[in-house]
Amino acid sequence: MLNFLNLIRWKNLLLIILTQLLIKYALFDAFNVDTRLDDFGFALLVIATVCIAAAGNIINDIYDIETDTINKPNKVIVGKSISEQIAFNLFIILTIVGVGVGFILSNMIDKSSFSAVFIIVSALLYVYASTLKQTLLVGNIVISFLVAMSILIIGIFDLVPVITPENKQTQLTFFEILRDYAVFAFMINFLRELVKDVEDIDGDHNAGMKTLPIVIGRERAIKVIFTLSLIPLFVITYYIITYLYKQQLAVGYFLIFIIAPLLYFTVKTFSANTKKELHHLSFILKLVMLFGVLSLLLYPFILK
């Protein structure tokens, strides 16, 4: 069971579940926003999202056997603890369940065309693992977009179907909040993908991949990451100054739990050399993502 949980990246899935729960119950319900999904419908959306994400993690591990054997030999699951055939069968089952539940949900809310979202995301996860991951920056962008989609999908299924001329402005306001969080998730995940590429350069090079550090060199790639890390710092600082400056609690939270770790990441990136240091930087970005999600709990104070 533990091998299966590690294969599907259970910690990442828990973060997706937490994010979606907070959006639904700490944001939408707290402000009595008009929504389409009841508790059962929302549960179906979470199940579909998690199943498809889990399937994506499995197929990624299947295609990463060669690189993982070099980059993290002690953490290889497919081919050791779980056979490649069983892993592929699990990928198929989870994909079918995820897309199937998504199709049922789309029809429940009379938006059958919305089921295309789950099909497209599933297809992108497969193409990412099999092809795009080996292409310079394209794979990083695609997987970061899919992470952002786990946030936007709540707005697509819960807000969009009940937009009326009367509530349009309110619905758009809350969709814009989701958009801002999706952009944040994209930026942080993109940075983390680049850090992981530098960390995994040996195995990726052996597999013939064309990641950023392989194409331009390890040192130059680290400098690119350092430069790019300034973007979320500036964007979030601008967001605080523009929207939150009157809310001391929110300002304090963002400064301590978002800005400070990002600043630490930026400073440490400039001198990161070892695999251990790079892994630490990746962990810092995970924490930033978690604290970013938890900031949803502040909105009853921000929008009061």
Give me the pLDDT at residue 246, please. 81
Compute CA distances 162 → 4, 24, 37, 116, whole Å: 39, 15, 10, 19
Helical ranges in 200-259 per DSSP H: 201-206, 212-216, 218-239, 248-254
Give me the pLDDT at residue 172, please. 94
Give me the pLDDT at residue 70, please. 83
3-class DSSP assignment, residue 83: coil
Could you tell me the pTM of the whole model?
Answer: 0.94
Under 8 Å between Cβ of 92 and 108? no
Per-10-residue mean pLDDT of the chain, 304 residues long, equals 89 96 94 94 98 96 86 83 93 98 96 96 95 89 96 96 93 94 97 94 84 92 95 93 85 95 94 89 96 92 70
DSSP H or E segment with residue 138: helix 138-158
Give me the pLDDT at residue 179, please. 96
* Cα gap 71→200, rounded to integer Å: 6
Q: Which residue has the tokens 């992470």?
A: 147
Give me the pLDDT at residue 92, please. 97
- Encoded amino acid at 271, one letter: S
* Cα gap 167→236, rounded to integer Å: 28
Q: Torsion angle, CA of 72/77/83/88, rounded to 10 degrees?
A: -100
Under 8 Å between Cβ of 95 and 224? no
Under 8 Å between Cβ of 170 and 45? no
Under 8 Å between Cβ of 294 and 253? no
Give me the pLDDT at residue 157, please. 97
- Encoded amino acid at 103, one letter: F
* Cα gap 105→87, rounded to integer Å: 27
Residues 6+ apart with CB under 8 A from 114: 102, 105, 106, 156, 157
Under 8 Å between Cβ of 16 and 148? no
